[in-house]
Structure 1
Amino acid sequence: MRVVVVGGGIGGLALGAGLRRRGFEVAVFDRDTDVAATGGYHITLDERAQSALRELVAPQIMQRLLASASALRLRDRDAFWDRRGRLLGRGPDLSGDSGIDVDRITLRTLLAEEVGDDLHLGRTVSDVEGDDGAPRVRFTDAAPVSADLVVGADGTHSLVAQHLAGGRTNRPAGIIGFSGRTLRTDLSPGERQRLGPRSGLAIGPWGAALYVGFLDPVGNAVLDAPKLRMSVTTGPTYIWGAMFPESRATDSLRELRDVELRAALLGRFRQQGWAEHTLEVIARADPHSVAAYRFNAASTRATELAPWPAGRITALGDAVHATPPTAGMGAGAAIRDAAALLSHLGRVTDGDTTTAEAVNQFEAGMRRRGSEILTLAMRTVRLILATDTTLGAAATTVITPFLAAAARLRHR
C-alpha cells in the first residue's frame, strides 16, 4: 500500500514515521523547507499521546525525546491569578502526572529524522482529486503523484479536508492569541517568586487573559541523559500566551512584529488596568519571539467532524478537529490520530479488512477524540469571552477580590 501524507506538521510526521517503521510505502510532503522553521513553542503530551508515540517511533527516539522534555510532575501546582497578580486558586497536585512538555522544534525534528528520505520538503500541494478511483495529489511545481490512500495532515487551513468537506472544517473561535518566550533569569526576584516553577492563567475583564507556561527541559528533565538532550530551551523559561477577543483593534495587531508588537500588547493590557508587575513577563520577552495568531475551532459535536463518507482520502489532526491551544491537547490528539490510523491500516495489509472499512473505523474514533479535546478547549475560550460584556466585565472586577481574599485564608 502506498500512502501519501499531505503536511509535515506533528501529526503528518508522526504518521509518516509510523508507516515507514511498519514497512509501508509512504511519502510525506510539506511546503516548509526547514523542519526547524516552525511556529509554536512547546507541546504538552499526556500519557495517551506518549503511548501512541511509542507505537510510531523507535525506542531510541523516545529516549531522546524524554531526555529533551520537561516533566510536569516536577512542577509546582498550576496557579490562577487576577489582573493584579493576586492568587485566586491552584490546580491539582502534579506529583503523579506522567505528562511532559517539549519544544515543538525538538519534537518535529525527531519525527522528521524518523521519516527520513520519505519526507519531501519545499513541495506545495495545489489540489487533491480522485475520490472514486486512485487518489492523486497535484503540486504547484512538480508532477502529480498517485497513491492508494491520501491523508491530509495539513492543519487548520487544510486543502485536503476542504476538498472532502466541500468547505472549511473550522471557524474563528473569537480570540486572537499572542505568544512569546521569556527567560526566568530576566525577571525581577519578585516575579520569579510569584510565577514560580509552574504554569498559570490570569483572566481580567473585557476578555483579556494571560497564560504563562513553565518549561525547563534541563533542570526538570524527564530522563537525565545530557548526551541525548536536543531541546531548544536550555534553561528555565516562561512560554506565555496573551489573549484578547477578536475585533478590528486586536486584529490589526497581527500586522505588527517584534518590538512594536510587544509594545502594543503591553499598551492594551495597561489600558485594561493590569498591574505593571504582571506584565513583566511580556515586557522582558525576547522581542523576536513575539508572534500573533488567530484561534480557530472545529465543532465540539462529534457528528459534525469529518463530515464526509469514508474513502481513499482522509485527514487527521487540526485538519479535522482544529483546536484552540487552551487545552494543551491538540498535538497530542494528532499523534493519537496517527497511531490509530496506522493500527487500522495494519489490518488492511493483514487482509482482515478493506481500506474503506479501515478508514471508516479510524474516522469514527477520530471524531470522538476530536470532540473530547474541543469540548475542553472551548470551556476556557467561553470563560474568557464571557468577561467581554458589560455584565461579565463588572462581575469579574467585583468577584476576583473576594476570591483572592479567600485564597489568602486557605494558604495561610
Structure 2
Amino acid sequence: MSTRRLRVIIIGGGIGGLCLAQGLNTAGIDVAVYERDADPDARTQGYRLNIEPVGSRALHDCLPAHLWQILVATAGDSGPGMGVFTEKMRLLMREDAPPAGLDPTEQTHAVSRVTLRRLLLAGLDGIVHFGKETTGYRQNADGTATALFTDGTSATGDLLVGADGANSRVRRQLLPHARRTPAPGVGIGGKLPLGDGSAWLPEELVSTKNMFLPKRDFLFTAVFRRRETDGTTAEHVGDQLRAADLDPGLLVQDAKDDDYVMWAYVAHRRALPADLPDASAGGRGHRLRDLVASRLTHWHPDLRKLIAQTPADTIEQFDFTTARQIKPWPTTQVTVLGDAAHSMPPVGGLGGNAALYDANVLRRALIAVDRGEAELLPAVAEYERAMLKNGFAAVRAATMYLRLATLPSHTVRTVARTFFRLCGTIPPLRRAIFSD
C-alpha cells in the first residue's frame, strides 16, 4: 500500500463539507475546502437545526474536543420525544422520553445555525477558501482529480468530494443520470417568539416537538429554548473559545437567538392557490399567514392563535424537491456527500443529519487510507455504499412523511391516526417502531 499522505479537496462549505474538513484536519490529513460564498457570513441562516443522535455522534467524532463541548453548551433542548395529535389537540401518541443522564453524543441538540457554522469554521483558517465557485473537475492520468473554478484557478487532490448541495455541479458531472424531481407538497413556516406575550401557549407547544395530523394537511411544531443563559454559557466555555481564537461575546450573541416555537404547515400543492406570493412580493408574510389561517378554521383555537400571532416577517414558503434513488456507480477519485447525493424534502429534519453521517463515515475511511491500512478506491467504494444506504433511507422516510402530509385520502388519514393511537396505547409496539 502507498505511504504517501492524502490530499483531499472538498467542494462546498456547508455543514457536511465542514464537518468532514474538521475530522480530516484533526487527523492530520491535508484537506482544503472551496466555498462559493464570498465570506463566512454570506448565508441566510433561517431556523435552528435539530441535531439528532446520529448527527451528534458525527460532530463529536469530527470536531476537536473543545469545539464539541462549546456546541453542547450553546445548544438548546427541543424536549423529550415527539407527540402526535389530531387537529383538536387530542393526543394520539407520545414517543418515550430518552433515559435520563444520556451522554451528549446520544442526545438531540437544537443548534443555532450561525453558531454551528462558526464552530465548524474554527481552526480552519487557510483551509477554507471563500469566493471559489466550481465549474467542474478534471480527472487526471496519475489518479488525482482537479477542481476548476470560475476565476480560472484550480486545485488538485487525491480525492475530490462534492459537498456542494442539492444543485451540485460535481454530481451533475459525476452522475449526469441522477435527477431531482419536484415533490407535491408546499411548506409554509414561521417562528413565534417566547416571552411575556406567549404565556397562553399550552404546555405541549412549549415543551416538545409535535406533529398534528388532521383530516387534511399537516402541522409540525418544535420549541427552541436555550439550555443556559448567555452569562452561564460564557462562563463555561469562555476560555475554550479564546483558545480556539473565537470571540466569546460574538459566539454567545450568535447563540442568543430568541427562544421561539417554530411551526411548519404542509399541504398538497393542488390544495393551495396557484398564485402564492413569491419572495419579492410585498406583504408576503401576511398573505402566507392568512392562507394558513384559512385552512385551520376548524382546528383547536390554540393552534389558530399560534399562527395568527406569529410575526409576518418570520413566515416563509418552501418548495420541496427530492432526489431519485441512485444506483452504485464505478468508484473513482471523485465522490459526493450529503444533499449533493441524496437531497430530500425538509420534513422530519433528516437531511442535515444524513450529511453529518456521511462526513463521519468518509472521515473514518480516509483516515484508514492515510494510515496505509486501506487503499483509496476500495475505501471510497465502501463509503459510497454506506452513504447511499443511509441517505436514501432518509429520503424514503422524508418522502413518506410528506406523502402522509399531502395525501387527500380520508381513509389513509384514518388508518394513520388509528396506527398512532394503537402505538400510544401499546408501549411495546411503540418502542419497537419508534426507538432509535
Q: Normalised by the size of structure 2, how large is the TM-score?
A: 0.80
Could you tell me whether the CA contact under 8 Å between 1:187 and 1:281 is conserved in 2?
no
| 1:64 and 2:64 matched | no
CA distance in 2: counterparts of 1:60 and 1:251, whole angstroms: 50
Q: Which runs of 5+ in 2 are unaligned?
A: 1-5, 238-250, 426-436
Within 5 Å, give how 1:214-233 maps onto structure 2: 214-219=223-228, 225-227=233-235, 228=237, 230=252, 231-233=254-256
Stretches (4+) displaced over 6 A: none
| 1:335 and 2:356 matched | yes
CA distance in 2: counterparts of 1:215 and 1:139, whole angstroms: 39
| Counterpart secondary structure, 1:238 | strand
| Aligned-pair Cα RMSD in Å | 3.2
> How far is 1:333 from its partner?
1.8
CA distance in 2: counterparts of 1:349 and 1:118, whole angstroms: 18
Q: 1:92 aligns with which of 90, 96, 102?
A: 96
- Which residue is equivalent to 2:118? 109
1:283 is aligned with what amino acid?
Answer: A
Cα-to-partner distance string for 1:150-175 (whole Å, 9 max, x where unaligned): 10111111111121111444322222
> How far is 1:306 from its partner?
5.8
CA distance in 2: counterparts of 1:5 and 1:356, whole angstroms: 17
> How far is 1:86 from its partner?
4.3
CA distance in 2: counterparts of 1:279 and 1:117, whole angstroms: 50
CA distance in 2: counterparts of 1:109 and 1:250, whole angstroms: 39
Deviates more, 1:359-368 or 1:106-115: 106-115
- Which residue is equivalent to 2:314? 289
- Which residue is equivalent to 1:410? none
Cα distance 1:242–1:250, how it changes in 2: closer, same or farther (>3 A)? farther
Q: Which runs of 5+ in 1 are unaligned?
A: 408-412
Within 5 Å, give how 1:343-362 maps onto structure 2: 343-362=364-383
Q: 2:184 aligns with which of 174, 183, 207?
A: 174
CA distance in 1: counterparts of 2:276 and 2:229, whole angstroms: 35
Cα distance 1:179–1:266, how it changes in 2: closer, same or farther (>3 A)? closer
CA distance in 1: counterparts of 2:275 and 2:183, whole angstroms: 17
CA distance in 2: counterparts of 1:4 and 1:245, whole angstroms: 40
Could you tell me whether the CA contact under 8 Å between 1:43 and 1:104 is conserved in 2?
yes
Could you tell me whether the CA contact under 8 Å between 2:160 and 2:334 is conserved in 1?
yes
Within 5 Å, give how 1:159-308 maps onto structure 2: 159-185=169-195, 187-193=197-203, 195-206=205-216, 208-219=217-228, 225-227=233-235, 228=237, 230=252, 231-247=254-270, 249=272, 252-253=275-276, 255-256=278-279, 260-274=283-297, 275=299, 277-299=302-324, 304-305=325-326, 307-308=328-329
Could you tell me whether the CA contact under 8 Å between 2:11 and 2:35 is conserved in 1?
yes
Q: 1:155 aligns with which of 161, 165, 184?
A: 165
CA distance in 1: counterparts of 2:178 and 2:363, whole angstroms: 26
Deviates more, 1:115-124 or 1:287-296: 287-296
| Counterpart secondary structure, 2:137 | strand
Residue identity over aligned pairs, in percent, reads 26
Cα distance 1:327–1:306, how it changes in 2: closer, same or farther (>3 A)? farther
1:372 is aligned with what amino acid?
Answer: A
> How far is 1:280 from its partner?
3.1
Could you tell me whether the CA contact under 8 Å between 2:24 and 2:30 is conserved in 1?
yes
Cα-to-partner distance string for 1:348-367 (whole Å, 9 max, x where unaligned): 22223322111101101111
> How far is 1:257 from its partner?
5.6
Deviates more, 1:311-320 or 1:250-259: 250-259
Q: Normalised by the size of structure 1, how large is the TM-score?
A: 0.84
Q: 2:9 aligns with which of 4, 8, 23?
A: 4
2:133 is aligned with what amino acid?
Answer: T
> How far is 1:20 from its partner?
1.7
Length, aligned pairs only = 393
1:125 is aligned with what amino acid?
Answer: T
| Counterpart secondary structure, 2:186 | strand
Could you tell me whether the CA contact under 8 Å between 2:77 and 2:227 is conserved in 1?
no
CA distance in 2: counterparts of 1:286 and 1:128, whole angstroms: 45
| 1:146 and 2:156 matched | yes
1:13 is aligned with what amino acid?
Answer: L
> How far is 1:251 from its partner?
6.7
2:127 is aligned with what amino acid?
Answer: D
> How far is 1:372 from its partner?
2.8
Could you tell me whether the CA contact under 8 Å between 1:125 and 1:139 is conserved in 2?
yes
